[in-house]
Amino acid sequence: MEVIIKPDADAVSKEAARLFQRQLARQPASVLGLATGSTPLGLYRELAAMTQAGQIDFSRARSFNLDEYVGLSPDHPMSYRAFMREHLFTHIDIPPENTRLPDGLAPDVARHCAEYEEAIRAVGGIDLQLLGIGTDGHIGFNEPSSSLSSRTRLKTLTPRTIADNARFFGSEDKVPRHVITMGVGTIMEARSVLVLAMGASKAHAVAAMVEGPIMADVPASILQMHRFCALIIDEAAAGQLKRGDYYRWVFDHKPAWQRA
């Protein structure tokens, strides 16, 4: 895992955008795994600006989102499809038919999850998977105690995640209790993984992910085993890392070709 510590959230987003730019320049038909929530908003603004400036091209890319709330239609303002339209898809040149999210209204959830996995396999797998990390160490909606080999499936949200997401819905009572999410095993099959974290509230989870034991109580910790995982964080999110100075030294002295 490469740990990249930046001064602030803006610098985190700019560095992440450069990694997307390199990925698409090297492989224009990349399959991208995308995330929602507050963490990637700065990145998505950067990608939109780069698209408008002609610095990045999504026209041959495909995307699969990590998750969707069960019971919300794609047109619901709090659905992740609506989120992606508002914050990314309408601002870049990716063909709408090349974007895919789980269906929150799927009548047969188990079958839909299997079909989602098959759709990812059918296009050759995900080349670059974007992730945030929850305050409890979850990735996607793989809550603590999730199987580290899990596949796309239905998950019940924990009270902590419901509370964290209540700001988007106005109250905890309005947050759906179930989601469809890519599994930890699905995420681990991506060829490369990019994790972003900003703010002091993420510092404990970041430290557990990077320097703690690999365990289901911190699903993000399995990324220690991923062959190509880059973690880009700001100084606040790096606040509980024991080896922060070492990570800064390593990043500053790597040859350019070896960096994420």
Catalytic residue among 15, 67, 117, 164: 67
Please indicate whether residue 87 is annotated as part of the active site.
no
Do the beta carbons of residue 236 and residue 200 sit within 8 Å?
yes
Among the listed residues 15, 68, 103, 143, the single catalytic one is 143
Q: How many CB atoms lie within 10 A of CB 14?
A: 14
Instruction: Answer for the pair 58, 52: CB distance below 8 angstroms, yes or no.
Output: no
Candidates 68, 103, 127, 138; catalytic one: 138
Compute and round to an integer the Cα radius of gyration of the chain.
Answer: 17
Shortest CA distance to 44 belongs to which of 125, 132, 104, 117? 132
- pLDDT tens digits for the chain (260 residues)? 999 999 999 999 999 999 999 999 999 999 999 999 999 999 999 999 999 999 999 999 999 999 999 999 999 999 999 999 999 999 999 999 999 999 999 999 999 999 999 999 999 999 999 999 999 999 999 999 999 999 999 999 888 888 888 988 999 999 999 999 999 999 999 999 999 999 999 999 999 999 999 999 999 999 999 999 999 999 999 999 999 999 999 999 988 777 76
User: How large is the angle between the packed helices 9-26 and 41-52, nearest 10 degrees?
Assistant: 50
- Of 215, 204, 203, the closest CA to residue 5 belongs to 203
| CB distance 251 to 167 below 8 Å | no
Confirm whether 143 is a catalytic residue: yes
Q: What is the pLDDT of residue 4?
A: 97
Residues 3/231, Cβ–Cβ less than 8 Å? yes
Q: Which of the residues 15, 117, 127, 136 is marked catalytic?
A: 136
Q: 33 Cβ partners below 8 Å, 6+ apart?
A: 63, 64, 65, 66, 126, 128, 129, 130, 182, 187, 190
pLDDT at 165: 82
CA 126 to chain centre: 12
Q: What is the pLDDT of residue 168?
A: 85
Nearest of 58, 65, 62 to residue 33 by alpha carbon: 65
Distance separating alpha carbons of residues 200 and 234, to the nearest angstrom = 9
How far apart are the C-alpha atoms of 124 and 30, rounded to whole Å? 10
Domains of the chain (ranges; CATH) run: 2-253 (3.40.50.1360)
Give 99's contacts (C-beta < 8 A, 6+ positions apart).
62, 63, 65, 84, 89
What is the per-residue pLDDT for 182?
Answer: 98
Position 54: which residue type? Answer: G
138 assigned to active site: yes
101: helix, coil or strand? coil
